[in-house]
Structure 1
């Protein structure tokens, strides 16, 4: 893909699929979201504890954070093919500038490599830029090498080191 950076700070591609619609997910999408999230890794897995009831509860909890939403990508036939979550927030760093955090990016296995992920990322970048964010960040499990190559191809670069600690 031919990526270029515009002065507004939004990466844009000349070949993004226009037949992929991305909309905000609603509670009625919980079962579909749970099935998509179970496909995050390359190996088939159980729903990893995800089910419609849990997903609905998580979505309800997300509403307590302003500008934290799940999105659903649909193909031209209206079939769900991917999802992501995006949180827009400000912090004390960068004098309160707004930033976006991308999470839970999943394209259904049978549609990977067909431009769905790029269409979703372009939508996330558009939402973040439209919200006045100076950057969009994401964290990806170190084992997801294909995902890292995908993000780098779209213009993302490694910035810093992500660390975590298990609390429970």
Structure 2
């Protein structure tokens, strides 16, 4: 696992991230990664095979009353042609170790309702449990 810290590395990783965050064009992705790094300490990690990015994870170390100090995984994606080859498991396991090194006591993530394969992976392969629902609402000018 390696951390991607430069705009050039983020740009290289964009095609993989685009498979998860389909609403983002490259310019928005680069802007948001830079903004999130400043605002919340967001970090982007990658696994490579033969020099090419095959899996990505975007994370933040955070503290709240519910989880204590924890690692929040905002994104976890494996390149579509590389799935079911253990890359997601390797990356998430590396993040578990890294989170412990950062003093985290939990790993927390949110996964879209329609992503049933991802849910099976988290629960069956990685030992995660469903602990809550996440609700969202767009803020308009009301």
Map 1:39-118; keep pairs closer than 5 Å: 39-40=19-20, 47-51=22-26, 53-65=27-39, 67-75=41-49, 77-91=50-64, 93=65, 97-118=68-89
Map 1:5-44; keep pairs closer than 5 Å: 22-25=1-4, 26-40=6-20
Task: Compute the TM-score of the two structures, normalised by the length of structure 2.
Answer: 0.87
Structure 2 gap segments, 5+ residues each = none
Per-residue Cα deviation, 1:12-52 (whole angstroms, up to 9, x for no partner): xxxxxxxxxx11112112323221122128xxxxx53321x
Greater helix percent: which structure? 2
| 3-state SS of 2:105 partner | coil
Instruction: Find the aligned partners of 2:41 and 2:24 in 1 and give their Cα distance.
Output: 26
Structure 1 gap segments, 5+ residues each = 1-21, 42-46
Higher Rg: 1
Following TM superposition, where does structure 1 have runs of at least 4 consecutive aligned residues deviating by more than 3 angstroms? Answer: none
**How many residue pairs get matched?**
138
Higher RCO structure, 1 or 2 (CA under 8 Å, sep 6+): 1
CA contact (8 A) 1:39 1:108 kept: yes
Task: Compute the TM-score of the two structures, normalised by the length of structure 1.
Answer: 0.75
